[in-house]
Structure 1
């Protein structure tokens, strides 16, 4: 799932940042992710410094980057010159000029479309919902796994997982979770009565207050949300008890859905989903539906640099293949993801960004086959770790670099990315998933400024969805100036050149102070300057993986 706007998770991160702010004197720059930790006092990837110091006067090779996402606005002023154009396809002639099976695929392809380019999937369900209802009649009365035939137990275990996800994804459960997380901030603002100069205050008092800085603005937002949620007549004194009462009532009404949702995708796409060889479906409309997420991701990677418009992408010589695969709401389908990866590979992509994920993957073998196909064609895949603020060790956010029995094997061409913030106090975004083994690096993912749909629209979004394209942009820049490096080598260089973090950071799940190396493999933030410098100084040597020549 894309999780374009990460809602309460982003809100909590911003509020936490404000509550912990010690000084209002430093304003985080708009495109902070491009800046340098030493020169600019923010934990960006040093892209601007790289181009001004290490790559000045140099020209790299053009790198094709696949954007497996929600599509993009082809008319956005900062993207229109960097979008890939299929050199063998004549646009809008309704012919398959290059004989690849996809008609008029000039910018890429839309695997969420029908035969007509005006018929497109714009919303879908969670994978857990689809799986829960697919096997509900078969498993809902099972009390013990021993009642299930051996060959069906994998399905049963996945169904139980889907059922548990559905229980936590109901409106009541989500409201309770959001209420618990916001109310957990109250101990940090116990002195708000002093700010209002009132020992006891209510919603009207809070609304009437004019904040004087980021901290008091965050405090006002928190109290406004909580007092409004629990109803009239509540004061700061009675608020905790009212919150507990509301939580109890929400838990009582929490129950599984009774009616299966529409099959949004099948009703429009009309392929034989169970047949992976039925792959020539969809249409050429990569701008269908809500393309905000894909447009924003695309700009982070490769928006035109130095054109005095909007913002600069990280990579300076790219062509972006847009492969529409993820709906505006709900989860992507494994078949579409697998075919999207293969499509990007077949059309020359050397880096593919995947800013999406889900907790179950019923047809993961299709996706793993596509990852292996990319591996065979020397393509690096960059994947977002997810926005649940959880440890994903042993709980993958699919697709993942792990495969095989008990996930004992690992693809060497997949890099998984967590999201970081600009400043030391909030370096790890508290919405970011993490893992000491399953997340490789962190990269800027909080309030990242980039392109939005519309001719000249720009704005900031947060999420590991933004951190992943930061790394994809870094990878594309490396492959542009050092095309002799293989995909595994690029991954290893990115990991070897991180800005190591030697101070404690906050664990998103527990709130405890830990080492960043406890939250990702490298214990660092991706840094393009360090990577290029290592190559120029001949400090990088490939660590051979088993079976690698």
Structure 2
């Protein structure tokens, strides 16, 4: 998770240290990710042509439930209210577990980060710190004979050694220097904002408004260059100065927590609120039914949900990929690293309550209870549920690094119902591969648009561009749901095959995010292409489930 903002999304400052300010990009239209290359010039997924195809065949559309395991959702958003899954077996607000599934009043889904008293986890610690301190007394300073360890013990020990390197080793020294840079940049932005608010005679302004503002005063010019450069470089021109600086401050605070982790065990944020017995997987009926919590908390999950299924052709906002989907919300991802137990139980809840596709736009470098997650993945596979996971935003090769959860299970098997998605872009938006995207010839299946994706955000029917593999994953989850709407008998393995086989090569070399070398996309992913809804639905039409 080093140099990335949580939940696998480039919200504001991911890559800030390593790239400072991203390459300047042309303005591209909202919804470019849905467009067709041949007719628009943008490397989108050709969704309108896909709908024309199914309409020409007069195919019946079946409702598909897509579970979004994320940070929450704005249940009142104009573009999402029509597409929210509602538990028909539950009577809202009566305080009774009507459907006897163990979760009281789970109308829209469930919040695994809540307490019975209504309190909720919003910020949490990082898994590297949790692992380091949990096993420090067991391994620190001791000679370990790895040949004498069982497979499970070896996994634990090697995980701890990686955490030691990150928290107390050479990585920590590098991180300390980065933190100094970050804090200095943040202080400069605060000073710049103070100057600009006075010069512009307004307390709140957007990045675009700042770009249009001019002054002959040297100090004001310098302040504008400082703040506008960072807002532009982080694709936050539609954000306000207030929101941008709040996000920057939160990011700096998170990095400070990481820096303190070598000496201080992380605060048990989740344990203080949830109050389950974390080590007992059978203690699973914890949490509450608040799937939004706050605008800030629900930002990521609301944006992801809109990409999948925001109401289409309703004349407001933007369109989701799929037009006959119900979004089931499972809140399990805090600002910080998610806990394996919450993820495993969220997957099981989704499966048990009818989800056919599960989107997972989150990730972390350590997974101490991986077996719980692996078992949940196998359970989803046994029930015919497709899992779609964001590849992550470290610009690293997943063939040689870690981004959990993964389809590499501890028992050596590999599930057939799993897709890992990297983020593509457009030449007018910085290049065909996103500069931040993880990749892997073996471990990333496909690429999908994940740069400057316009979608729903909380707080008064609003919309915003965000970017990250977190945005690419729901493009693919939405495509999978679209395929299943019209070809409901296809298995997860078939849907996975359809999406991979129909992915389109860009017809030119692309930039490897890890080293900027120009390579074929087949060197960065198994499919070697960018997903295409039109080609996918045509291929799906030739199969029998």
TM-score by length of 2: 0.81
1:145: which partner in 2? 144
Of the three residues 382, 388, 394, the one matched with 2:388 is 382
2:480: which partner in 1? 475
Q: Could you list the per-position Cα deviations for residues 379-432 of structure 1 after superposition, in whole angstroms to 9, with x for gaps in the alignment?
A: 000000001010011323111112145xx4311100000001122761111110
Alpha-carbon spacing, 1:279–1:517, altered in 2? closer, same or farther (3 Å): same
Is residue 411 from structure 1 mapped to residue 410 from structure 2 by the alignment?
no
Partner SS, residue 383 of structure 1:
strand
Is residue 421 from structure 1 mapped to residue 425 from structure 2 by the alignment?
yes
Tell me which moved more, 71-80 or 58-67.
58-67
1:235: which partner in 2? none
Pairing 1:350-369 to 2, within 5 Å after superposition: 350-369=356-375
* Counterpart-to-counterpart distance in 1, 2:154 and 2:403: 22
1:432: which partner in 2? 437
1:401: which partner in 2? 407
Assess if the C-alpha contact under 8 Å between 2:37 and 2:44 holds in 1. Answer: yes
Pairing 1:503-518 to 2, within 5 Å after superposition: 503-518=508-523
2:397: which partner in 1? 391
Alpha-carbon spacing, 1:88–1:157, altered in 2? closer, same or farther (3 Å): same
1:443: which partner in 2? 448
Is residue 207 from structure 1 mapped to residue 212 from structure 2 by the alignment?
no
Alpha-carbon spacing, 1:219–1:323, altered in 2? closer, same or farther (3 Å): closer
Q: Could you list the per-position Cα deviations for residues 421-474 of structure 1 after superposition, in whole angstroms to 9, with x for gaps in the alignment?
A: 122761111110000000000000011000000231100101000000000000
Aligned length: 473
Of the three residues 283, 289, 300, the one matched with 1:293 is 300
Partner SS, residue 48 of structure 2:
helix
**1:47 Cα deviation (Å)?**
1.1
Is residue 332 from structure 1 mapped to residue 333 from structure 2 by the alignment?
no
* Counterpart-to-counterpart distance in 1, 2:260 and 2:326: 47
Q: Could you list the per-position Cα deviations for residues 281-306 of structure 1 after superposition, in whole angstroms to 9, with x for gaps in the alignment?
A: 11111011410000000000000111
Partner SS, residue 524 of structure 1:
coil
Partner SS, residue 291 of structure 1:
helix
Alpha-carbon spacing, 1:220–1:267, altered in 2? closer, same or farther (3 Å): closer
Of the three residues 172, 175, 178, the one matched with 2:179 is 175
1:453: which partner in 2? 458
Is residue 71 from structure 1 mapped to residue 54 from structure 2 by the alignment?
no
Tell me which moved more, 363-372 or 418-427.
418-427
Is residue 308 from structure 1 mapped to residue 315 from structure 2 by the alignment?
yes
Is residue 320 from structure 1 mapped to residue 334 from structure 2 by the alignment?
no
Assess if the C-alpha contact under 8 Å between 2:307 and 2:478 holds in 1. Answer: yes
2:256: which partner in 1? none
Partner SS, residue 76 of structure 1:
coil
* Counterpart-to-counterpart distance in 2, 1:423 and 1:205: 33
**1:219 Cα deviation (Å)?**
11
Residue segments in structure 1 that go unaligned for 5+ positions in a row: 180-202, 212-216, 223-253, 543-549
* Counterpart-to-counterpart distance in 2, 1:109 and 1:467: 24
* Counterpart-to-counterpart distance in 1, 2:490 and 2:341: 30
**1:53 Cα deviation (Å)?**
4.6
Residue segments in structure 2 that go unaligned for 5+ positions in a row: 1-5, 184-217, 234-258
Is residue 489 from structure 1 mapped to residue 488 from structure 2 by the alignment?
no
Partner SS, residue 434 of structure 2:
coil
* Counterpart-to-counterpart distance in 1, 2:45 and 2:383: 28
1:499: which partner in 2? 504
RMSD: 2.9
Partner SS, residue 120 of structure 1:
coil
Assess if the C-alpha contact under 8 Å between 1:32 and 1:422 holds in 2. Answer: no
Q: Could you list the per-position Cα deviations for residues 20-63 of structure 1 after superposition, in whole angstroms to 9, with x for gaps in the alignment?
A: x6xx6xx4111111111111111111112322454366441000
Pairing 1:519-530 to 2, within 5 Å after superposition: 519-530=524-535
Assess if the C-alpha contact under 8 Å between 1:441 and 1:520 holds in 2. Answer: yes
Alpha-carbon spacing, 1:510–1:286, altered in 2? closer, same or farther (3 Å): same
Alpha-carbon spacing, 1:397–1:461, altered in 2? closer, same or farther (3 Å): same
**1:267 Cα deviation (Å)?**
0.9
**1:220 Cα deviation (Å)?**
12
Alpha-carbon spacing, 1:453–1:219, altered in 2? closer, same or farther (3 Å): closer
Alpha-carbon spacing, 1:208–1:5, altered in 2? closer, same or farther (3 Å): closer
Is residue 158 from structure 1 mapped to residue 159 from structure 2 by the alignment?
yes
1:231: which partner in 2? none
Alpha-carbon spacing, 1:471–1:153, altered in 2? closer, same or farther (3 Å): closer
1:46: which partner in 2? 46
Partner SS, residue 128 of structure 1:
helix
Q: Could you list the per-position Cα deviations for residues 329-348 of structure 1 after superposition, in whole angstroms to 9, with x for gaps in the alignment?
A: 11111111000000000010
Is residue 124 from structure 1 mapped to residue 124 from structure 2 by the alignment?
yes
Is residue 83 from structure 1 mapped to residue 88 from structure 2 by the alignment?
no
* Counterpart-to-counterpart distance in 1, 2:146 and 2:410: 27
TM-score by length of 1: 0.80
Determine which structure has more spread, i.e. the larger CA radius of gyration: 1
Q: Could you list the per-position Cα deviations for residues 175-205 of structure 1 after superposition, in whole angstroms to 9, with x for gaps in the alignment?
A: 37979xxxxxxxxxxxxxxxxxxxxxxx969
Assess if the C-alpha contact under 8 Å between 1:148 and 1:156 holds in 2. Answer: no
**1:13 Cα deviation (Å)?**
7.7
Alpha-carbon spacing, 1:486–1:261, altered in 2? closer, same or farther (3 Å): same
Alpha-carbon spacing, 1:219–1:300, altered in 2? closer, same or farther (3 Å): closer
Assess if the C-alpha contact under 8 Å between 1:207 and 1:220 holds in 2. Answer: no
